[in-house]
Each structure stands twice: as C-alpha cells, then as structure tokens.
Amino acid sequence: MTATGWIFMLTSWTVITSVLALCLFWTFKPRKGGGGPAAG
C-alpha cells in the first residue's frame, strides 16, 4: 500500500467517524425540557 493510499484511507475513515461521532453526540445530548433520543 502506497503512502497516498494510507492517506486516502485514514482521512476518509477519520472524516466519516468524526462526523458520525458528532452527530451521535448531538442526538443523545440531553436537552432542556426532557428531550433527547428517547423523546419523540
């Protein structure tokens, strides 16, 4: 695997995983008024 191959793979993985982590954090973040993922 070439150096650019590693860069492409690790960058793609990092970007996707970070965005997913942020999205999940915001989704599960407790909100005023008892919101959060369980509240429909």
Partner 1 sequence: MAKEQWSGRLGVILAVAGSAIGLGNFLRFPGVAAANGGGAFMIPYFVAILLLGLPLMWVEWTIGRFGGGFGHSTAPGAFHTMWNKNRFIKYFGVIGIFGPIVIYIYYVYIESWLLGYSFFALAGKFPGAKGGVSDFLTQYTGGESGLHFSNLGTAYGFFLATFIVNIAVVYFGIRGGIERVCKIAMPLLLVMAVVLVVRVFTLGTPNPAQPDNNVINGLGFLWNPDWSVLMNDQAWKTLTSAGVPFQERLGSLPYVLNAKVWLAAAGQVFFTLSVGIGAILTYASYLKKNDDVALSGLTSATANEFAEVVLGGSIVIPAAFAFFGAAATAQFAKGGTFDLGFLAMPMVLNHMPGGEFFGFLWFFLLFLAGITSSISLSQPALAFLEDEFNLSRRESVILFAIVTFILCHASVLGGMPVIGELDFWASNFCLVVFALVEAILFAWVFGMDRAWTELHAGSDIRIPRFYRFVLKYVTPLLLIVILGGWAWQELVPTLTLKGDPPDVKMGKTLSRILLVLMFAILCFLVWAVWRRRAREEQAALAPASPDASSEGL
Confirm if 11 and 3 have CB atoms less than 8 A apart: no
Confirm if 36 and 29 have CB atoms less than 8 A apart: yes
Closest separation between CB of residue 35 and partner 1, Å? Answer: 9
Confirm if 24 and 16 have CB atoms less than 8 A apart: no
Helix (H, G, I), strand (E, B) or coil at 2: coil
Instruction: Give the total of residues touching partner 1 (CB under 8 A).
Output: 24
Show contacts with partner 1 in window 1-40 (CB under 8 A). 1-2, 4-9, 12-13, 16-17, 19-20, 23-24, 26-27, 31, 36-40
Binding site for partner 1 (CB under 8 A): 1-2, 4-9, 12-13, 16-17, 19-20, 23-24, 26-27, 31, 36-40
